[in-house]
Amino acid sequence: MSGENQEAQEDELLALSSIYSEDEFKRSDTAPGGEIQVCLELPPNFKISVKSNSTANAIVETFENTVFFLPPIVLNFELPPGYPSTACPIFTLSCKWLSQKQLTLLCQRLDDLWVENRGCVVLFAWMQFLKEETLEYLKIKSPFEIQLQNIRTHTLMQRDQEKSSYGIDSPVEGAIDRRAVQDVESVSVLIKHILDFNENQQKKSFNSKPFLCNICFSEKLGSGCTYFKDCSHVYCNSCLKDYFEIQIRDGQVHALNCPEPKCTSVATPPQVKELVGEQLFSRYDHLLLKSSLDLMTDVVYCPRPSCQTPVMQEPGCTMGICTSCRHAFCTLCRMTYHGVSPCKVTAEKLLKLRDEYMIADENGKKFLEKRYGKRVLQKAVEELGSMEWLEQNSKPCPRCGTYIQKIDGCNKMTCTGCNQYFCWLCMNMLSRANPYHHFNDPSSECFNSLFLGVVVEQDFFEDED
């Protein structure tokens, strides 16, 4: 290697190292050369599709998606001793989503660039071409169908760089360049790699950009923010952490959505876990599972307070058996299983049950009668109806509790049950010796109220002349 070539190679490799990051350019440690990874700038809403032919049943499956990033085109190169004065870099060009035919066209274009710039370093020109002109050169537009080819179905070009004055052979038309490699094992592997790369690059791009949080109105890098995929809203992690922690502690696990007013986007479990930590996430996970089970009509819970294990309810069966504590219970009233006997109703529930029965339709009434017994419900309706009438139209004796109805007369009442005198206005018991003293005593709250509220009807007669 001449001193001039060696110096030019070293200067070019140093320049590439200073211009590009390690993700884009890696220099070889063993020989003059390295690896260049070129990620193309895709137009907005770039759609791709991959077709998979199933030879077993002749079914064609198509995968379609919109991507912002595609896996890079990889240029591996080695600089021969005669580069750049007389020899072209030795290289291979590989990619997962470009076909071998498309990569062959790119290899030929790199050869042409070397011819046009012979005697000069060419790696930077190659990188610029691959990054800025690949899509236009290959006439790639959205939607783009990725073509999968088997290299064994093509004729490999045999190149002998010693026979060419510039280290390049004339291409054989229709042949596949052996330097062109479609680096993919299968359709499923290709799809997974494309989706993973697109997601990772989106996250990397998001982390490096500043965003304004509409809660604290501070501008922070995406690495300190959370992105809601469905609505594209962004909030800082500090504000979302406080917001989510309050919701989880209050048991509102279905409210872990985007704080934007009227927005229905929901945070994913990994996002919640990253923000609130393991302990609160465990509570969130438990409450979320419980709320999901509550929506299932065939799931009930063991009524024992110390257990509360979810139990699957058999269709048409009112007996539940807890798989944890083996407790047998009625799935209707949650009491110990009572067979065909009606469910027992507590006094506190009787009034609510009566109201539920009164407003129910025919099918609802039949269900309640089957569950609690028709006689129980009829008795509840009659007794509670009577109780309501008594409460509205009578008062209980302050001594024995007998309900007394006042039809007319003064406010001194006599209980029909125990003959106790009492005041209808204040419901205080009156002296048996002088019951009217209560109404004549100026210190009494019912002073001069013996006939208060009494409607007196009088007949008026005109004097006859």
- What separation in angstroms does the CA of 170 have from each of 111, 119, 359, 374? 10, 19, 92, 98
Instruction: Tell me if residue 410 is catalytic.
Output: yes
pLDDT at 98: 92
> If DSSP codes are grouped into helix, strand and coil, which group holds residue 25?
strand
pLDDT at 61: 63
What domains are there in the chain, each with its CATH number? 3-199 (3.10.110.10), 208-294 (3.30.40.10), 347-393 (no CATH), 404-454 (no CATH)
Radius of gyration, alpha carbons of the chain: 44
- DSSP annotation of 167: S
Cβ atoms of 336 and 322 closer than 8 Å: no
> If DSSP codes are grouped into helix, strand and coil, which group holds residue 176?
strand
Element (H, E) at 202: helix 187-207
- DSSP annotation of 30: S
**Beta carbons within 10 angstroms of residue 209's beta carbon:** 11
Where are any strands of DSSP class E within 147-279? 180-182, 210-212, 219-221, 225-227, 234-236
pLDDT at 153: 42
pLDDT at 270: 87
Show the DSSP H helices in 295-447 as ranges: 347-359, 362-372, 374-393, 437-440
What is the SS3 string spanning 415-460?
CCCCCCEEECCCCCECCCCCCCHHHHCCCCCCCCCCCCCCCCCCCC
CA–CA–CA angle 12, 15, 16 (5° rounding): 90
- Catalytic-role residue among 302, 410, 415, 418: 410
pLDDT at 154: 40
> If DSSP codes are grouped into helix, strand and coil, which group holds residue 19?
helix
Cβ atoms of 91 and 130 closer than 8 Å: no
Tens of pLDDT along the chain (465 residues) come to 678 889 999 999 999 999 998 889 999 888 899 999 999 989 999 999 987 655 545 555 678 899 999 999 999 999 999 999 999 999 999 999 999 999 999 999 999 999 999 889 999 999 999 999 999 999 999 999 988 765 344 434 434 333 333 344 444 556 889 999 988 878 888 899 999 999 999 999 999 999 999 899 999 999 999 999 889 899 999 999 998 888 888 877 776 889 888 888 888 888 888 888 888 888 888 777 777 666 666 778 888 888 888 888 777 777 888 988 988 888 877 778 888 776 666 555 666 776 777 778 888 777 777 666 666 666 666 655 555 565 666 788 988 888 787 777 788 898 887 888 899 899 999 988 888 889 899 999 999 988 887 765 444 344 444
Q: Which amino acid is at 22?
A: E
pLDDT at 372: 67
| Cα–Cα distance for residue pair 273/253, rounded to 1 Å | 13
- What separation in angstroms does the CA of 187 have from each of 33, 109, 115, 231, 265? 32, 28, 37, 31, 32
pLDDT at 303: 85
